[in-house]
Amino acid sequence: MILHLALRSDWDVARRTGRYPWSTRGVTVETEGYAHCSFEHQWRGVRERFYSDLADSQLVLLEIDETKLSSSVVVERLGNAPDEFPHVYGEIDVDAVIGEHAVD
């Protein structure tokens, strides 16, 4: 299981359209090349570093079943990341999201 921190508004659109094109906040998979994800012990740090200006109610933590993804997952350290993170090299399939959790 991997996690993806999403804007609630983006995820609401994805559930309606069946497509989640986002890599991270304001950046598409098409632009970045992959979707940023994290493991359980990492997501709070991601929230602090990149989403601290948003209220918890504006975010949702998506739980992803890697076996349901149509794209590959690579665990790697890129750039100046403090740790290795999972990256989905394609869009996150809406059907692969098996849980939605409030951020608090």
Q: What is the mean pLDDT of each run of 10 residues along the chain (104 residues)?
A: 97 97 96 97 95 97 98 93 92 98 92
Please state, in angstroms and rounded to a whole number, the distance separating the CA atoms of residues 62 and 100: 5
pLDDT of residue 62: 98
pLDDT at position 3 is 98
- What distance in Å separates the CA atoms of residue 100 and residue 38, rounded to the nearest whole number? 15
- Per-residue pLDDT at 61: 98
pTM: predicted TM-score of the whole model, two decimal places: 0.94
Question: What local confidence, expressed as pLDDT, does residue 30 receive?
Answer: 97
Would you state the structure tokens that stand for residue 61, as one six-digit string? 């933590």
Looking up tokens 């997501």 gives 43
Give the Cα separation of 39 and 86 in Å (integer): 7
pLDDT at site 80: 83
Report which secondary-structure segment, H or E, holds 30: helix 29-32
- Which pLDDT score is estimated for 104? 81
